[in-house]
Structure 1
Amino acid sequence: MSFLNPFALLAMAAVAVPLFLHFFNLRQPRTVEFSSLAFVKELQASAVQRVRIKEWLLLALRMLAIASLGMAFAQPTLTSNLGGMAASAPTAHAVVVDNSLSMTADGASGAYFDQAIQKAQGVLQTVEQGDEALLWPTARSGARRPEPTTNTGVVRQSLAELEPQAGAASLAEAVGRAADATRQADAPQAVVYVVSDLQASTLGDSVATRVPDGVQVQLLPVETQAQSNVGVSDVTVTSRIAEVNQPVQLEATLTNHGPDPLDDYMASVYLAGDRVAQSTTTLEPGLATTVSFTVTPQTRGWLDGAVVTEDDDFPVDDRHHFALHVPEERRVLRVRGDGQDTRYLDLALSSEMVADRIAFRTTAIDERELASAELGRYDAVLLAGPRSLSSGEVDALTRFVDRGGGLLLFPNAQARPEDYNALLGRLNAGSFRGFSGTLSGDQTVASFEQVDLQHPLFEGVFQEQRREEASVERPDLYYVMNFRPSGQAGQTLIELSNGRPFLHEARHGRGRLLTAAVAPTRAWSDLPVRGLFVPLLYRSVYYLSATTSVAGEQLVAGRPAELRVTGVAPDASVRVRGPDGIEVTPEQRTLFGATLLQVGGTLTTPGLYDVQAGSTRARRVAVNINPAESNLQGASPEAASEQLQNATGAPMQTVAAAEAGDLEETLRTRRAGTELWNVFLLLALVFLAAEMLVASQWAPETTSTQTDASPSRRPK
């Protein structure tokens, strides 16, 4: 029990007044004998005893009445949340409003967010003079950290301007940070009110945010109902090569978050604003399903893409954005080894040979310049027969492949196996075991035996309907490098008749290495004069240079991320332009051949963002909502309270729906406790009424005197 007016307890001293008067009246008077009063001595002791009982009863009733009045004026309360006599002390009120996108759903009592605003306004009605308040949205758009203020008008204005948006933090994190913000308040006490739909998928995460000791947390859930929704959690461009008028494969992951199965559910793909593909499937409740699409881009550049689902109860996630890159050109670095003939190689990559196809912007350097080259500026590197590779060059090439670059290695007849093996070993590709045959000879030592025509590298080389039965030319090879694959993340695309690889792919990090068994000269084979040479070389370079360029990154709205952008000058100012036209300049630093952008929680609007370097678009990035927000299932108040308590370490109390009718009164009672002054006032009135009845109606001395005096009137 606590007291809102504890100083009124001083009036309890008045309880001693009736007691003092009672004992004062009990003073024994001096005895004077009168003969006319002699008959009084005959009164029995029982009459005196009854008089004393009445006096003590009246004394008790008067003292209880005064004590009850004193307690009523002290305003006693029970079950106070803030405890003790400090219940009326100044308090810091932190209102956590869930403005995540799930709050845009509609319920039986209206939109979740509208309910939340009403409840938050009810909380602010309880803020009294001397209190402080702050509004803490779960999605803050990187805005300045809210601070407590005694001006509730500022908080009300912020509440009126609040809107649902993507990028909300988990509820546990928001509660912890809001509670921590109350430390800046001068008020000795703090209460955090949490207004939310208690969406189960976004209640908390693995990183707990502790609430300071002494801060109370009240849950104010809005009224929700079951929702039917299908969300797109991911879109992947599975094709490694994207060209105009060539098919590109996509995969989308759809999850049915509703309670019922959905038959013949249709999803569509939009590219550059046009619907270009659609697919139907059956979606089981609670399960993720992968749907495949085939699209054919008609133009080059960064194309806007989206997978769109059918209308449902949560339209916010009906469109999942992605970017498809059909490049105008690829940046290729060609490193010419000492004494190597690269005429056929240069001709195969020239603009005349790749007319109507993507052009390669080729930069040619000599082997001795490789150590100083900025490899990160290129999409692919062709090593045209290097004679040796230093340890520094091996390190640089390994980093280049690991970060997503493509590398094509042609051998040199004067190369030492240990030089090549240093690079091959770092990339887990295999090892170089010497050569077979004779340079410029006329005796064939091997030819093509098997070709993996299903590999993406051969897409477009043959007509699709003939791809399975296509007949591949079999060039004569006079001199070949004996290469032994490691078997780790590798694949032989063309196998020779001697059982060794002619063209082998090894994957490392985010990049790839293609190793050829011959140099592109007539001294090694007649391949350079075959019709297969140009398309095979073109597709190899295109495949390698497309490692990181087919699709743009997909980021989660409001979540910090890093973007690695290549082809940007180190001193260039890089900006990010959103779908609303607003530009931000993220923090950036220069890495090995690239610029690293630190994107904070500023990208909160779903859509496509352009990374601009000057007037040039360097990349296009897709930003989508957190897939967890698509699951609208809410947790029960009991389960949410337990989960939040485990995450924050603070006890949770829930204002049930039945108590929310008069939220202001409920919260005031919760804050101060259940007031008992009216109970004590009623008791005081009862005690006073009882005292009056006893004093006026009960006369034990009269009854006893008449009864006891009757024997003296008997006849003599």
Structure 2
Amino acid sequence: MSFINPFALLAMAAVAVPLFLHFFNLRQPRTVEFSSLAFVKELQASAVQRVRIKEWLLLALRMLAIASLGMAFAQPTLTSELGGVGASAPTAHAVVVDNSLSMSAEGRGGTYFDRAIQKAQGVLETVEEGDEALLWPTARSGARGLEPTTNTGVVRQSLAELEPRAGASSLAAAVGQAADAASQADTPQTVVSVVSDLQASTLGDSVAVEVPDGVQVQLLPVETRTQSNVSVSDVTVTSRIVEVDQPVQLEATLTNHGPDPLDDYVASVYLAGDRVAQATATLEPGLETTVSFTVTPQTRGWLDGAVVTEDDAVPVDDRHHFALHVPEERRVLMVRGEGQDTRYLDLALSSEMVADRIAFRTTAIDERELASAELGRYDAVLLAGPRSLSSGEVDALTRFVDRGGGLLLFPNAQARPEDYNALLGGLNAGSFRGFSGALSGDQTVASFEQVDLQHPLFENIFQKRRREEASVEQPDLYYIMNIRPSGRSGQTLIELSNGRPFLHEVRHGGGRLLLTAVAPTRAWSDLPVRGLFVPLLYRSVYYLSATPSVAGEQLGAGRPTELRVRGVPPEASVRLEGPDGVEVTPEQRTLFGATLVQVGTTLTTPGLYDAQAGSTRVRRVAVNVNPAESNLRAASPEDASERLRTATGASVRALAAAETDDLEETLRTRRAGTELWNVFLLLALVFLAAEMLVASQWVPETASS
């Protein structure tokens, strides 16, 4: 117990006054006894004893009444766990305000965030002279008030400027950071007040949070209600080949965070500002649903895209941004093998053939120049029958594929098996097992047995006669390379009648390798003069060059990550330009064929960001709301307290809803302790009333004659 007005205890000395008066009144004058009165003593013996008992009772009641009045004026309190030494101890108040996007949901009497601001203002009203205060939002944006200050006006101004935004940290992390900052204040005690909707999905993560010893944490929950909300957690471009006036397949993942199923729910796709597709689905509560769309881009370049859902409780997550890349041109490096006839490839990829139709920019070099080529500058590399590959070239090609490049390999009849096998082994593609047939022969050694028509490479190549069938042209094959796939990461797209692959795909790292069993010359087959050759070559180049660039990366707002950006000119730095004029120049370093950009927590505004190198846009990145913020389910105050206590190791106590009705008074009481002056005042009145009752009912005792 402590006393707010301890000097009033001096008045307790007045308790001795009735005692003094009592003993003073006991003094009797000396009496002379007469024999005729002796018998009276015997008659009054028992009456005198009863009188003394009543006198002592009145004395006790008067002393207790005075003592209770003295205690009431001293204002005793039962010291709370937050107060420690009562109201006289200076305190550092850290006010953690949850301004994550979930706080924008509508509640009773406004949004959750409106209620949070009112509660935070109530906390600041309890700041007294000698105290310090700071404001710590969960989603920071360079706001003032991140250091303790005695000027609460600065903190109030920062509070007024707050608004819900993306990129909020977990509540546990914010508590730890605020406690650490508040502990720097020169005060004997620190109290962290957390105003939040206690969203269960963002309370904490696996990262341990340290809170300084002695810091007390109190939760001030904002009243919430069950809300219906649908979020888009992911958008994927499933088509690997994206071209103008060609259909592109998209998939969006929708999650119903509400308690009820949603029938015929509508989601739309916007491309370059126009709605281009729409789909409906039934969304079960708490489950993810994949919705498919087909869009047809009309222009080249990086196109702004968004999947938009119906209006609901949290408007900020109703639009999920993505970027669709229709390349202005595809940079292709063709490596001519020594002694290899590449005239059919040269003709097919010539500017006359691709002008105004296909955006290829082909650079041709001889095999001996491969070692010095900067592969990172190209989207796809065509190895047109290399005779040999050095270990350095094998390593460079392997890294190129691993980091997202596409590689197309045509064989050479004079190839060194050990060189080819070194490359195939580095990509987990299997091995080269010699040749079958005869060069410039006239006898077909194999034919197409099976074609995987479901693969995106063959989309719209073959003419379909019926719904499930397609007409596949059969070239004459005279001489073929025998490929033995590894079976681990490969897929045969065209299988020959002898069981060997004619066209085989291998996925490695972020890129792909396509292996062909014949060289593009008439000596191996008549494929170069068939109608299949040019479409198959174009689709292969499309497919390989699209590996890293069909869509831009999708980042979480405020979440640190890395970007590998290709096509950055030497000595140029990458900067990110986003919506509302946001511009960031992150840390970066040059790697093999790319620039590694370290994106920190600065991208907090959802939208599309352009990666600029000088005046050139080299990439477009989508920043979206963290999906965890879309789940509005709130934890109970008890559960939230336990989870924060486990995450931080601090003493955490939640205020009940009834205690927050008069928050300022509740906090003052909790800080100073539970005041007992009213209890002692009531006791004083009770004792005085009892004294009056006893005194009024006391009839003096008389002796009968």
User: Smaller-chain TM-score range?
Assistant: over 0.9
Per-residue CA deviations over 1:519-562 (Å, capped at 9, x if unaligned) read 22333333223332222112111110100111111111121121
Q: Which moved more, 1:223-232 or 1:290-299?
A: 223-232
Q: How far is the alpha carbon of 1:699 from its aligned partner? A: 7.2
Q: In 1, Cα distance between the equivalents of 2:287 and 2:84?
A: 52
Paired residues of 1:570 and 1:590 also in contact (CA < 8 A): no
Partner-residue secondary structure (3-state), 2:471: coil
Aligned to 2:545: 545
Aligned to 1:650: 650
Q: In 2, Cα distance between the equivalents of 1:370 and 1:20?
A: 115
Q: How far is the alpha carbon of 1:638 from its aligned partner? A: 3.0
Partner-residue secondary structure (3-state), 2:286: coil
Partner-residue secondary structure (3-state), 1:353: helix
Q: In 2, Cα distance between the equivalents of 1:405 and 1:545?
A: 7
Partner-residue secondary structure (3-state), 1:122: helix
Q: How far is the alpha carbon of 1:297 from its aligned partner? A: 0.7
Amino acid across the alignment from 1:3: F
Question: Is residue 604 of structure 2 the alignment partner of residue 604 of structure 1?
Answer: yes
Q: How far is the alpha carbon of 1:21 from its aligned partner? A: 7.1
Amino acid across the alignment from 1:602: T
Aligned to 2:106: 106
Amino acid across the alignment from 2:703: T
- 1:629-640 paired onto structure 2 within 5 Å: 629-640=629-640
Paired residues of 2:101 and 2:314 also in contact (CA < 8 A): no
Amino acid across the alignment from 1:345: L
Partner-residue secondary structure (3-state), 1:269: strand
Paired residues of 1:279 and 1:291 also in contact (CA < 8 A): yes
- 1:252-291 paired onto structure 2 within 5 Å: 252-291=252-291
- 1:524-543 paired onto structure 2 within 5 Å: 524-543=524-543
Give the fraction of aligned pairs with identical amino acids, expressed as a percent.
86
Paired residues of 1:2 and 1:84 also in contact (CA < 8 A): no
Amino acid across the alignment from 2:377: R
- 1:336-485 paired onto structure 2 within 5 Å: 336-463=336-463, 469-485=469-485
- 1:512-527 paired onto structure 2 within 5 Å: 512-527=512-527
Per-residue CA deviations over 1:20-77 (Å, capped at 9, x if unaligned) read 77678879x9x97846589469624545544543454344334423432332233211
Amino acid across the alignment from 1:356: D
* CA RMSD after TM alignment: 2.7
Paired residues of 2:145 and 2:155 also in contact (CA < 8 A): no
Q: In 2, Cα distance between the equivalents of 1:491 and 1:407?
A: 15
Aligned to 1:183: 183
Amino acid across the alignment from 1:269: V
Question: Is residue 269 of structure 2 the alignment partner of residue 293 of structure 1?
Answer: no
User: Are the structure 2 counterparts of residues 100 and 613 from structure 1 closer, same or farther at C-alpha, using a change threshold of 3 Å?
Assistant: same
Question: Is residue 669 of structure 2 the alignment partner of residue 673 of structure 1?
Answer: no
- 1:196-207 paired onto structure 2 within 5 Å: 196-207=196-207
Partner-residue secondary structure (3-state), 1:139: coil
Question: Is residue 41 of structure 2 the alignment partner of residue 43 of structure 1?
Answer: yes
Paired residues of 2:83 and 2:670 also in contact (CA < 8 A): no
Paired residues of 1:141 and 1:601 also in contact (CA < 8 A): no
Aligned to 1:307: 307
User: Are the structure 2 counterparts of residues 262 and 464 from structure 1 closer, same or farther at C-alpha, using a change threshold of 3 Å?
Assistant: farther
Per-residue CA deviations over 1:303-361 (Å, capped at 9, x if unaligned) read 11111122233322222111110001112222233333323222221222223333222
User: Are the structure 2 counterparts of residues 462 and 22 from structure 1 closer, same or farther at C-alpha, using a change threshold of 3 Å?
Assistant: same
Q: Which moved more, 1:178-187 or 1:334-343?
A: 334-343
User: Are the structure 2 counterparts of residues 695 and 263 from structure 1 closer, same or farther at C-alpha, using a change threshold of 3 Å?
Assistant: closer
Partner-residue secondary structure (3-state), 1:409: strand
Paired residues of 1:141 and 1:167 also in contact (CA < 8 A): no
Paired residues of 2:172 and 2:648 also in contact (CA < 8 A): yes
Q: Which moved more, 1:678-687 or 1:322-331?
A: 678-687
Q: In 1, Cα distance between the equivalents of 2:295 and 2:465?
A: 18
Paired residues of 1:453 and 1:468 also in contact (CA < 8 A): no
Partner-residue secondary structure (3-state), 1:258: coil
Q: In 2, Cα distance between the equivalents of 1:416 and 1:483?
A: 14
Aligned to 1:80: 80
User: Are the structure 2 counterparts of residues 492 and 84 from structure 1 closer, same or farther at C-alpha, using a change threshold of 3 Å?
Assistant: closer
Q: How far is the alpha carbon of 1:148 from its aligned partner? A: 1.2
Paired residues of 2:398 and 2:426 also in contact (CA < 8 A): yes
Aligned to 1:60: 60
Aligned to 2:621: 621
User: Are the structure 2 counterparts of residues 19 and 377 from structure 1 closer, same or farther at C-alpha, using a change threshold of 3 Å?
Assistant: farther
User: Are the structure 2 counterparts of residues 552 and 692 from structure 1 closer, same or farther at C-alpha, using a change threshold of 3 Å?
Assistant: same
Partner-residue secondary structure (3-state), 2:120: helix
Question: Is residue 502 of structure 2 the alignment partner of residue 502 of structure 1?
Answer: yes
Q: How far is the alpha carbon of 1:183 from its aligned partner? A: 0.9
Per-residue CA deviations over 1:453-479 (Å, capped at 9, x if unaligned) read 321112232356779544333333332
Q: How far is the alpha carbon of 1:507 from its aligned partner? A: 0.8
Amino acid across the alignment from 1:707: A
Per-residue CA deviations over 1:469-510 (Å, capped at 9, x if unaligned) read 443333333322111011112111122232211110011122
Q: How far is the alpha carbon of 1:127 from its aligned partner? A: 0.9
Q: Which moved more, 1:684-693 or 1:656-665?
A: 684-693
Q: In 1, Cα distance between the equivalents of 2:357 and 2:144?
A: 50
Q: Which moved more, 1:512-521 or 1:79-88?
A: 79-88
User: Are the structure 2 counterparts of residues 586 and 479 from structure 1 closer, same or farther at C-alpha, using a change threshold of 3 Å?
Assistant: same
Per-residue CA deviations over 1:386-436 (Å, capped at 9, x if unaligned) read 233333332222222122111111222232222221221221111111122
Amino acid across the alignment from 1:313: A
Q: How far is the alpha carbon of 1:251 from its aligned partner? A: 0.7
Q: In 2, Cα distance between the equivalents of 1:144 and 1:662?
A: 28
Q: How far is the alpha carbon of 1:608 from its aligned partner? A: 1.1
Q: In 2, Cα distance between the equivalents of 1:464 and 1:98?
A: 58
Give ranges in structure 1 of 5+ residues lacking alignment: 711-716
- 1:57-206 paired onto structure 2 within 5 Å: 57-78=57-78, 80-141=80-141, 146-206=146-206
Q: In 1, Cα distance between the equivalents of 2:495 and 2:31?
A: 144
How many matched pairs?
703
Question: Is residue 328 of structure 2 the alignment partner of residue 328 of structure 1?
Answer: yes
Q: Which moved more, 1:545-554 or 1:302-311?
A: 302-311
Aligned to 1:713: none
User: Are the structure 2 counterparts of residues 311 and 47 from structure 1 closer, same or farther at C-alpha, using a change threshold of 3 Å?
Assistant: closer
Amino acid across the alignment from 1:528: P
Q: Which moved more, 1:637-646 or 1:311-320?
A: 637-646
Q: Which moved more, 1:451-460 or 1:434-443?
A: 434-443
Q: In 2, Cα distance between the equivalents of 1:336 and 1:145?
A: 65
Per-residue CA deviations over 1:281-315 (Å, capped at 9, x if unaligned) read 22222222111111111110011111112223332
Question: Is residue 538 of structure 2 the alignment partner of residue 556 of structure 1?
Answer: no
Q: In 1, Cα distance between the equivalents of 2:418 and 2:166?
A: 54
Q: In 2, Cα distance between the equivalents of 1:351 and 1:565?
A: 28
User: Are the structure 2 counterparts of residues 164 and 465 from structure 1 closer, same or farther at C-alpha, using a change threshold of 3 Å?
Assistant: farther
Q: In 2, Cα distance between the equivalents of 1:142 and 1:484?
A: 59
Per-residue CA deviations over 1:93-119 (Å, capped at 9, x if unaligned) read 111111111222212222221111111
Q: How far is the alpha carbon of 1:78 from its aligned partner? A: 2.5
Amino acid across the alignment from 1:609: Y
